[in-house]
Amino acid sequence: MTDWIDDIERRANRATPGPWRSYIEGRDFWGGSNVITTAGEDIEPLGGTYAEQDFIAHARQDIPRLLDEITRLNYALSWAGAPQPDHWLADIASRVDAVMEGPWHAPPEEGARPSVQAQGTTIHLDGATPRDVDFIAHARDDIPRLIAEIHRLRGALKSSAP
């Protein structure tokens, strides 16, 4: 793979294991705070939109799935197999389109409240580990890059088919 894909995979492997789930008060339950549940500590996002909370939670599952598809397509290219049509890629792309533009940044201060920032907005991520914050901060830019790579590989596979 490429260095940037290896960096994305490394961030995904370091984040708290999935699945992560988004629960929004009034949509998914009544009473309590909005939360992203994880296999470790729950993340309580404060600030940002519901779409951004859903994006963050889904990113934990979406990025490994995109990486798997890139691996599969690279393998298929080496054997000139046929691409698998599916709708899940469009679902992931629509989640990217629903959130504020990137890049998202994590504050570099040691001991700072876990959060990501973009376009003057801060999303606090109470309960998130530093590795989770790093994963979340990069997800806004990583997912579109992975989708573009999948489209490139699918085009190369299609053009190599007899």
User: Could you tell me where the DSSP H helices lie in the chain?
Assistant: 3-14, 50-79, 88-97, 130-160
Task: Specify the pTM.
Answer: 0.81
**pLDDT given for residue 64 in this prediction:** 94
In 3-state terms, what secondary structure has residue 41? Answer: coil
**pLDDT given for residue 50 in this prediction:** 94
- CA-to-CA separations, 32 to 21, 24, 25, 84, in angstroms, rounded: 16, 9, 7, 42
Q: How far apart are CA 67 and CA 145, in angstroms?
A: 11
**pLDDT given for residue 103 in this prediction:** 85
The structure tokens listed for 20 are 């992560």
Contact between 147 and 89 (Cβ < 8 Å): yes
**pLDDT given for residue 118 in this prediction:** 86
Kindly give the parts of the chain with pLDDT less than 50: none
The structure tokens listed for 126 are 């109470």
Task: Render 64-78 in DSSP notation, one character per residue.
Answer: HHHHHHHHHHHHHHH
**pLDDT given for residue 45 in this prediction:** 93
**pLDDT given for residue 21 in this prediction:** 96
**pLDDT given for residue 102 in this prediction:** 82
- Whether the link from the prior residue into 83 is cis, omega within 30° of 0, is no
**pLDDT given for residue 135 in this prediction:** 93
**pLDDT given for residue 77 in this prediction:** 76
The structure tokens listed for 142 are 């990583």
**pLDDT given for residue 14 in this prediction:** 93
**pLDDT given for residue 56 in this prediction:** 95
**pLDDT given for residue 107 in this prediction:** 79
**pLDDT given for residue 39 in this prediction:** 92
Q: What share of the chain is helix, strand, coil (3-state, %, to 5)?
A: 50, 15, 35
Could you read off the pLDDT of 107-148 as tens digits, one per residue?
A: 777 777 899 988 888 999 999 998 999 999 999 899 999 999
**pLDDT given for residue 73 in this prediction:** 86
CB atoms within 10 A of CB 50: 14
The structure tokens listed for 101 are 């533009």
